[in-house]
Amino acid sequence: MGRQRRLQGGWLVALALAWVSCGCHQDEFGERFDGGEIDIYDDLYAASAVGPDHLWSAGYFGAIYRTTDGGKHFTKLETPTEKSIYDIDFADEKNGWAVGRRGFVIHTRDGGDTWQKQTFPREPARHIFAVSAIDADRAWAIGEWGGRYYTGDGGENWEDRSFLMDETHPAFQYLTEFELERYEAGEKLYDDIYLNDLFFLDAEHGWMVGEYGFIWRTEDKGETWERGKIQGDLSFDDLYFEPFDEKIARSDWDMLFEAAEVLQQRPYLKVRIDAFLTPEEFRKTGETFLADERASSVQEFLEDEGITQDRLKVVNPTPFDQESVDMEAFTKKKIAQRPHVKIEVMETPFLFDVKFSDAMNGVIAGLGGVILRTTDGGRTWRYALVDSYQAFFSVGLGREGLVAVGEKGQARISRDEGERFEKLAPGSFPESFGYFRDAVFGTPERGWVVGYAGSILRSSDGGLTWSRVLPPVDVASDQGTGE
Amino acid sequence: MADEKQPQTQMEDSLPEGAISMRFARFIMRNRFGTLMTLLSIGLFFLLPLLNAPLEMLGTPLPGVRTFAMDTKARDQWPEHPFVHTADKFTGRFGTASFVAISVVKTDGEIYDTDFLEKIKRITDAVDVAPNVNHYQVSSLSHINTRVIRIEPDGSLTAEMLMEEVPEDEDELLALKELVLQNPLLIYGRLVSRDHTAVLIQAGFITHRLDNREAYQALFDHMMKIKEEEEADGTAKVYVSGFPMVVGWTYLHVYEILFFLLATIVMLFFLLLAYFRRLHGVAIPMVAGLSTAIWGLGFTAWVGIALDPLILVIPLLITARSISHTIQMAERFFEDYEMEIDARSRSAGRDLTVDEIREAKVETATTAMAKLMLPGMLGIITDAAGLMVIFITTIQLMRNLALFGSFWVLAIFFNVILLHPIMIAYLPPPHDTKHYTPRFMNWLLGWAGRLTTGAAKHAVVGIALVFLVFSTWFVLNFSTIGESRPGAPIFWPDHPFNVATAQIAEKFGGVDQFTVFVDGDQKGASANGAVLQRMEAMERHIKKYADPGASVSLVNFIRVFWDVNHYGDPKWGFVPDSASAIKRIVFQLESNSTPGALRPYLTDEQEDSNITFFFPDHKGTTIRRAIHYAQEFIDENPMGRVSVRLRQDRGGPLDVAYYMLGPLLFAREKNMEAFIARIDEAQEIQGYDRGEPYPVGEWTKPLDRDEVEKNVIDALVKIGSIRRDKITPTSHLFDDLDINKDRIGKIARLLSARFDYRIERLNKTAKQVALDPDGPWTRVDRIVDDIVDRSVYYVVEEWRNEGLAITAQTIRYCPSYWGYCEYELWVKNDKFKDSSFNPQPTGSWTRGSEFAMAGGLMGILGAVNEEVERGHVANILLIFLIVFTFVGVSYRSATAGIVIVVSLATGTLLSLFYMAMRNTGLNVNTLPVQSVGVGIGVDYSIYITDRIRQEYSWCGDLDEGIRRAIRTTGMAVTFTATTLVGGIGAWIFSDLRFQAEMAQLLVILMVVNMLGAILLVPAWFSILRPSFFATSLSQEAEEPGLEAEPPLPSSTS
């Protein structure tokens, strides 16, 4: 009996233990990626190359990828942000800066292994779109709302050298009372200038580009800046009118039609319309509205030809509130010997990227297939011949040519110093339908292009042929890069 | 020539007359006519709904009689689980789990071909008019919902259809290809395959309309017609996948199931004939089985359950078990009948007369009934209890199965234990009194008897223990919950459905969706920069750790549009911080798209949003991984200004207990957590402080009934526009007051909001409660009673913040000892117009937006898998516990219980080992088979045990008793198992993989349990020699009032 009970008891215990173990059931979910391994291939907006082997590329969600062996291996660096990093630039293999959204700036002295946060002296913080590192201590950065900053001590202190508004600014008269009060109280009023890119060849020579065809140059370390001018090939003759008439002469129609067609093809061009009347017309009518009507005629004509209103700017219209304006001075501006309308083409392409090979020769990439080149240090710019109306985001300066890349995977090369850009040879550039945002060369032979979904291309022959190094092929096919 | 069995002295193994089972048997047989009539009447009652099925089709149903129905409802397969509550909440807002995916593959070359694209357009148009389609959830190259946004050179934006007209020349085709490639997010890789050879067309369907066979059939037929027509010219192959197609294919194969059912019945008939060789042995088991089936099927109709074709194998099993019981009865009868005739002839010294033979027949039937009453009842009760155990799950399909399955099993008592002997009494006596047993079986069973009582018995037990331990280890480490292979496991890999699913996964990276919802508390809550950025972070987190093929949400659109809005500069492809920018973008998106184009991603009021992840498969591991990381992200990243949630403590030994026993235990305690965001001057969240809920621990007092009645009547008058004098407390809302359904919903909402009546349930809004035809909102007094009843609940804890105007309560509607009764979170938000308490089905609430899991096919499967896993373990444990208890109590021996349970466990674990080895995941369909399978095993063991007991009481030698039991009952057990294996074996060849694999599983179960019953159980008993065998039937007769007497010939004639 006792043996029976012991047996039974033993069985019960064994069974209970066995079944309790049924509860020891857990899934193990471990890490999928080792430290430094790229887990998600983020969009890349900017690159900086030093020598043939070093490349840093930065982009979405705080991503910075680095290679130190020419692209054989890439490492994802730790950064103290998950916001977009818009630009990165290294002065050498160790010292560099990265900038981004909402005034974000970080600096490294060890090639990107560690980063220190820095600050721009501006509130509220604005997006910073570009940085150019001159050496380990000196750098410039630019961004929206006229943002322009300089450091000479490695970023310990950044000087605010942003574009400001004062009484000499043409838009000063349009400030609100609140803004005027702030100005009079000594506060800075920042100019609404959207600066997109920045390039410093050395400590003295630098260039900036932005919206509305804004181009600036300096050759005195940024102490003074002057505007660069885009020399377009489209112009209008003055339109003359019959006395007291606002109708456009038939003989001028053809000229306007042709010009409108060109304007259609170049959507980055805007038109200024300034109308005038004769002293006699002013005497007889007692006002300047006749000039306004002439301007309206021209405006309506061009709108009928498909030019949208936002591209047609009528300057100096007769003010409604004439009591607060010096009408005598205004009238003087509107009087001319002959009744006419002056039409001026404003070269206002949206510009994305500027690079210079030396103090004289540079190139700019922009929206709508725009590529500009200069041979006088940026004082004047001309359009390159390009067979595309899609945006070019960047131009890289390689030994074999200038390589322009942009939206929808397009790429062009110029082998004549930027006069004309053509498609690369078939098979020499990976087919892709995502964008490429930046092109840089670490040496005349070794170039890099970065873009959508972690795409990094490499050229080792000065830009003639390119191959994909990131992401790996099987991942690339998932990203829709067409390969 | 079969051998003749040696006759035994009848008296030596008879039950004492005073035994309860004998007295009951005599009573039944004395009143057998009345009993038969009663049984036939009951049978007729259950037959009527079966007759009504064809009659209803003919348009002449029997009045007042329910109709038997076979149908499937997707919702019945879902458990009561937070994910399902979430899916219920958001159903209709974004879409459903019912998607059909069609892949059209060009047989030669790329898809950029005019004729092929015409085909795509045709198919898309045909899909768009499919029955119960949700037009806003149709996606295709040519559908109006598919648009691309362009930025013109002048910076203006246009949104146009990807393919408004079918391209006709090379330039247009090339332009289309470029457009496709330029949109990798939603088009390239999703609607067009990476290799440009296939196009995907997807359509969502309205799930609550897909709740009957006709709806599924119509949809299935529609899709198959499209396939047939568009494949006819040979230029394309059309592959159709998606859950509705699974159901459609299943219905198509139902006819095969019926064929196999018929084949099983025929096989059984011939096996019975071959074994018994007489009408008694064939007709009676078939009649008993048929009668049991009629009771079971009729019962489903009377309780309103539609039999799901996916679980048809279960009724077959139960019917087969009824036949196994009749075989036991028949076998016992023939055995005893032979002995009885011989004994009486010897006693009379001559051949018996016809009357004497008839008398012997009845007496034998009576004693057979008496002898098999205990083991039979024990087997039936444990079978039924095993099925009742399934009730502990919350999956309605399984609860239905538990209900009708247990009834079906209990019906065996009436249709076998009672009916079989009665039929014997009325049928002519068997011509042949000899009990035939095959020679080789006699030899085999003789060998088995020697094996289990000789020295080798230790080896038998040892080997079995090794199997048990190894199987247990293997199962614990390698078995999976959920479908372990892509596609639908109920079909073979080469089935058109699985071929289609695999093809779509290969071309398009998966169609299995896992959806996380963003639940906003007011209009515009989800069109918010912070919320969208958090959504994006979650997408990245899941992408990083769970590796989905793709994901889509409003974030993708926002990023693209913001980029496009800024001259197409990719640097602007981020989610803006400001809500006004988001609203502007949403407005532009909606303006540039077709009406409702954004609805799959954002509700019209911009209150709720979602993220959908596409996975290549829905294996259990894939689902668990997705759920794990989604929950991890949600836990680590609270959103909103204020957040309250119920949290269940995890970790420690309690996890083990709940994993193993889950639903058997009381609802696990949940504690309330409150988080209040710290907002800086820029209105950005800088972190969270914790609120401090305080314990209450009190029951509320019921509302005043008169006041409630007054308010209800007032509402009926005002909202229902009913004259007050027409309303009485017993007024029926529809029959008497003729009230409109919309008005009822409004009344319920009004009463809930104005007076804070807790009309809602955790998973039903006030309107849903009011419109539930089975609910209380049918009569005025019932409404009042419900409101008053619902006003009594137990407040566990509360959190209140006057500044934020929030009060949150954790409540229960039952006492803590009541068992499985959920902890519910109710929140009152005084900032809102409806500042009453409202239940939070997801167990959390946020002012602002919060994540809620989970929807899509994988979300639902995740809920089902959790329920199956928990229920499976508890199910098996409980069944074993019940078996142990019943057997132990019946034989007053723990050893008996343990031995039988160990034998069952060996068989069960071996079958689970087989499933694990075959990589067949446990799911809602396999679980009941396990339960039923255990029931088969216990029957065999109980019959053997009881026979050992009886034989031992006669011969006084346990080992000899074992050997005799194996020779006799073992024969019946062997035959029963052989018969069932022969019958179900045909199912192995079914086109339905689920049926075929389950047949294999059942064969293994039956064989292993049979071997367990005739080898393992006897061997154990021979080794352990438990004392309960010493309690013999003769000794029972020594108790006062109970004397062992030989059976009296005239007592039951």
Are B337 and B358 spatial neighbours (Cβ–Cβ below 8 Å)? no
Q: Using one digit for the tens of pLDDT, what is the confidence trace for A239-285? A: 999 999 999 999 999 989 988 988 888 877 889 999 999 999 999 99
Q: Give tens-digit pLDDT for B682-710.
A: 677 778 899 999 999 999 999 999 999 99
| Selected residue with higher pLDDT from B76 and B573 | B573
Determine, yes or no, domain membership for B766. yes
Task: State which of A291, A320, A347 marks the end of a domain.
Answer: A347
Say if A7 is an interface residue toward chain B (CB within 8 Å): yes
A436-456: average pLDDT:
97
Asked if residue B883 and residue B821 are part of one domain, the reply reads no
**CA distances in angstroms from A444 to A377, A405, A456, A459, B606, listed in the order given:** 20, 17, 18, 10, 53
Q: Chain A: give the shortest CA distance to residue B540, in Å.
A: 8
Residue A10 is predicted with a pLDDT of 62
A83 neighbourhood in chain B, CB within 8 Å: 574
Q: Answer with the one of A295, A316, A347 that is the final residue of a domain.
A: A347
Res. B56 pLDDT band, cuts 50 70 90: confident
Task: For A134-246, list the strands marked E by DSSP.
Answer: 139-143, 148-151, 159-160, 195-200, 206-210, 215-218, 226-227, 229-231, 239-240
Rounded average pLDDT over A42-55 = 97
CB atoms B894 and A8 under 8 Å? yes
Q: Do A39 and B544 count as a contact with CB atoms less than 8 A apart?
A: yes
* Set of chain A residues whose Cβ sits within 8 Å of the Cβ of B625: 27, 29
| Residue-level pLDDT at B670 | 81
Lowest model confidence (mean pLDDT) among B61-65, B321-325, B677-681: B321-325
3-state class of B813 per DSSP? coil
Q: Which residue has the higher pLDDT, A230 or B388?
A: A230
| Contact check, Cβ <8 Å, B660/A478 | no
CB atoms within 10 A of CB B194: 17
Task: Report pLDDT for B235.
Answer: 94
Between A1, A11, A434, which is nearest B184 by CB?
Answer: A434
Question: Residue B617 corresponds to which tokens in the numbers above?
Answer: 């498969």
Question: How is chain B split among helix, strand and coil, in percent rounded to 5?
Answer: 60, 15, 30
- A391–B571 C-beta distance less than 8 A: no
Q: What is the CATH number of the domain that holds A298?
A: 3.30.1330.60
Average pLDDT over every residue of B364-389:
84
Is pLDDT above 90 for B875?
A: no
Q: Residues A178, A113: one domain?
A: yes
Our count of domains for chain A comes to 2
**According to the per-residue pLDDT averaged within each range, which of A54-58, A235-239, B96-100, B313-317 is highest?**
A54-58
Give the confidence band of A30 by pLDDT, cuts at 50, 70, 90.
Answer: low
Query: A322: which DSSP letter?
Result: G
Q: Which residues of A touch B570 (CB under 8 A)?
A: 43, 45, 393, 435, 437, 451-452
Tell me, yes or no, whether A186 and A75 share the same domain.
yes
Q: What is the mean pLDDT of chain B?
A: 83
Residues in A closer than 8 angstroms to B613, CB to CB, are none
Q: Are residues B299 and B376 in the same domain?
A: yes
- Its domain, for residue A282, covers 239-347
B1022-1053: pLDDT as tens digits: 999 888 887 644 444 444 443 333 333 333 33
Residue B877 contacts residue A19 (beta carbons within 8 Å): yes
Burial of B935 (C-beta count, 10 Å sphere; 0-12/13-18/19+):
buried
In a domain, A142, yes or no: yes
Supply the pLDDT for residue B656.
Answer: 64
List the CATH number of the domain containing A161: 2.130.10.10
Q: Which domain holds residue B427?
A: 10-57+250-482+863-1028
Per residue in B959-973, pLDDT (tens digit) is: 999 999 999 888 888
Q: What is the CATH number of the domain that holds B802?
A: 1.10.1200.10
Q: Are residues B363 and B453 in the same domain?
A: yes
- Residue B814: pLDDT band (50, 70, 90) is confident
* pLDDT greater than 60 at residue A473: yes
List C-alpha distances in Å: B270 to B277, B280, B571, B895.
10, 13, 79, 39
Say which amino acid occupies A125: A
| B201-215 confidence digits (pLDDT tens) | 988 887 667 767 788
Checking if the pLDDT of B5 tops 80, the result is no
Whether A282 maps to a domain, the answer reads yes
What average pLDDT does this structure show over B304-328? 78
Place B8 in a pLDDT band, splitting at 50, 70 and 90.
Answer: very low
A480–B568 CB contact, under 8 Å = no
- Residue of A8, A367, A479 lying closest to B895 (CB–CB): A8
* Coil, strand or helix at A267: coil
Highest mean pLDDT among A130-139, A227-236, B848-857, B971-980: A130-139
Residues A343 and A354 both lie in one domain: no
User: Using a CB-CB distance cutoff of 8 angstroms, which residues of chain B are in contact with residue A196?
Assistant: 569
Shared domain check, A294 and A180: no
Residues A52 and A177 occupy one common structural domain: yes
Task: Answer whether B787's CB lies under 8 Å from B716's CB.
Answer: no
Q: In this predicted model, what pLDDT tens digit does every residue of A118-128 receive, in sequence order?
A: 999 988 889 99
Whether residue A244 sits in one domain with residue A132: no
Considering the domain architecture, whether residues B824 and B932 belong to the same structural domain is answered as: no
Claim to verify: residue A402 and residue A443 sit in the same structural domain: yes
Using a pLDDT cut of 70, give the percent of chain B over it: 88
A186 conformational bin, left if phi > 0, alpha if psi -120 to 50, beta if neither:
left
Select the residue from A76, A435, A449, A452 to test the B interface by mutation, using most B Cβ atoms within 10 A. Answer: A435
Among A residues 261-320, those touching chain B with beta carbons less than 8 Å apart: 267-268, 308, 311
- Tell me: the pLDDT tens digits for B893-920? 888 899 999 988 888 888 888 888 877 7
More confident residue, B854 or B223: B223
Arithmetic mean of pLDDT, B147-164: 66
Determine which of A8, A13, A268, A479 to mutate to test the interface with B (most B C-beta atoms within 10 Å).
A8
Q: Same domain for A359 and A440? A: yes
Q: Are residues B874 and B838 in the same domain?
A: no
* Beta carbons of A433 and B188 less than 8 Å apart: yes
pLDDT at B1051: 32
pLDDT at A223: 94
- Percentage of chain B exceeding pLDDT 90: 28
Lowest mean pLDDT among A210-219, A460-469, B182-191, B612-621: B182-191
CA–CA dist B872, B404 (Å, integer): 19
Average of per-residue pLDDT across B232-260? 84
Worst-scoring range by mean pLDDT, B497-506, B940-949, B1035-1044? Answer: B1035-1044
Contact criterion met (CB below 8 Å) for A103 and A91? no
For residues B85-96, average pLDDT = 73
Confidence of residue A20 (pLDDT cuts 50, 70, 90): low
Task: Give the model's pLDDT for residue B97.
Answer: 53
Burial B822-843 (b: 16+ CB within 10 A, else e): bbbbbbbbeeeeeebbbbbbbb
A-chain CB neighbours of B540 within 8 Å are 40, 61
- Average pLDDT of B18-45? 92
Q: Which two tokens stand for residue A369?
A: 């297939």
Quote the minimal CA–CA distance from B182 to chain A in Å.
5
pLDDT category, B538, cuts 50, 70, 90?
very high
How much is the average pLDDT of B814-837?
76
Q: Residue A324 above 80 pLDDT?
A: no
Which two tokens mark B38?
């009663």
What distances in angstroms separate CA A256 from CA A250, A299, B444, B930, one per listed residue?
10, 11, 111, 87
Q: Which two tokens stand for residue B538?
A: 């979650």
Q: What are phi and psi of B974, to 5 degrees?
A: -60, -45
How far, in whole angstroms, is CA A438 from its chain's centroid?
Answer: 10
Q: How far apart are the first and last CA of chain A?
A: 80
The answer to the question of residue B810 being in a domain is: yes
Dig out the tokens for A272 from the structure: 């200024």
Distance of residue A87 Cα from the nearest chain B Cα, in angstroms: 10
Q: According to the model, what pLDDT value does residue A47 have?
A: 98
Structure tokens given for B1031: 């309690």
Q: What is the per-residue pLDDT for B35?
A: 95
What is the arithmetic mean of pLDDT over B441-453? Answer: 90
In the stretch 378-417 of chain A, residues with CB closer than 8 A to chain B read 389, 391, 393, 407-408
Q: How far apart are CA B120 and CA B199, in angstroms?
A: 8
- One domain for residues A417 and A461: yes
The answer to whether residues A62 and A105 touch, using CB atoms and an 8 Å cutoff, is: no
Interval A334-361: pLDDT, tens: 999 999 999 998 888 899 999 999 999 9
Distance CA B642, CA B801 (A): 10
Is B732 inside any structural domain?
A: yes
**What CATH number is associated with residue B27?**
1.20.1640.10
Q: Is A472 on the interface with B (CB under 8 A)?
A: no
User: Residue A373 pairs with which residues in a beta bridge?
Assistant: A363, A382
- Residues A283, A272, single domain; the answer is yes
Total domains in the fold of chain B: 2
Band (pLDDT 50/70/90 cuts) for residue A134 is very high
SS3 B109: coil
pLDDT band at B618 (very low <50, low <70, confident <90, very high): confident
Whether pLDDT at B854 is above 80: yes
pLDDT exceeds cutoff 50 at B11:
no
Task: Give the closest residue to B590 by CA, choosing from B136, B95, B133.
Answer: B136
Same-domain check for residues A102 and A209: yes
Whole-number pLDDT of residue A419: 93
> Are B761 and B873 within one domain?
no
Cα–Cα dist A237/A255, whole Å:
8
Whether residue B833 is found in the same domain as residue B746: yes
A265 and A181 in a common domain? no
Q: Over range B1007-1035, report the average pLDDT.
A: 83
Question: What's this model's pTM, rounded to 2 decimal places?
Answer: 0.78
Dihedral sign (CA B591, B592, B594, B600):
negative
Residue at a domain's end among A347, A364, A383: A347
d(CA A76, CA B296): 65
Residue A189 placed within a domain = yes
Contact, B876 vs B1005, CB < 8 A? no
- Nearest one of A22, A17, A18, A30 to B481, comparing CA atoms: A22
Is residue B350 scored above 60 in pLDDT? yes
- Cα gap B415→B395, rounded to integer Å: 30
Write down the pLDDT at residue B734: 80
Residues B812 and B950 in one domain: no
Task: Look at residue A399 in the predicted model and tell me its pLDDT.
Answer: 95
Q: Per the domain annotation, does A33 fall within a domain?
A: no
